[in-house]
Amino acid sequence: MEYPIWQLSTFGGGFWIAFIATIHVYVAHFAVGGGLFLVLMEQAAYRTTNIDLLHYAKKYTKFFIVFIDSSRFI
């Protein structure tokens, strides 16, 4: 009895593992680094009383929350 073989030549299992791992690591690093960036930017805005920087931080926070929240569906 011969067992069936499913051979994927170009895009084998290793390719998909590496592809998903790369996307996962990118999103994870963005989440950690982006969160720290938001905290430091908001502190700098309050220390220097820079209203423009504070508005930018709030706008970036909305983008950050949407991006990180939507990345869990990937």
The end-to-end CA distance of the chain, in Å, is 40
Closest CA to 67 of 18, 39, 21, 34: 34
- Please give the pLDDT value at position 17: 84
Q: Nearest Cα to 38, choosing from 12, 9, 68?
A: 68
Q: pTM (2 decimals)?
A: 0.61
Q: What is the pLDDT of residues 10-28, one digit of tens each?
A: 777 778 888 889 988 988 8
CA-CA distance, 7 to 13, in Å (whole number)? Answer: 10
Q: For residues 70 and 2, what is the distance between their CA atoms, to the nearest angstrom?
A: 45
Per-residue pLDDT of the chain (74 residues; tens, 9 = 90+): 667 676 667 777 778 888 889 988 988 888 888 889 999 999 999 999 999 999 999 998 888 888 777 766 65
Domain map of the chain by residue range? 28-73
Encoding tokens for residue 15?
């390719």
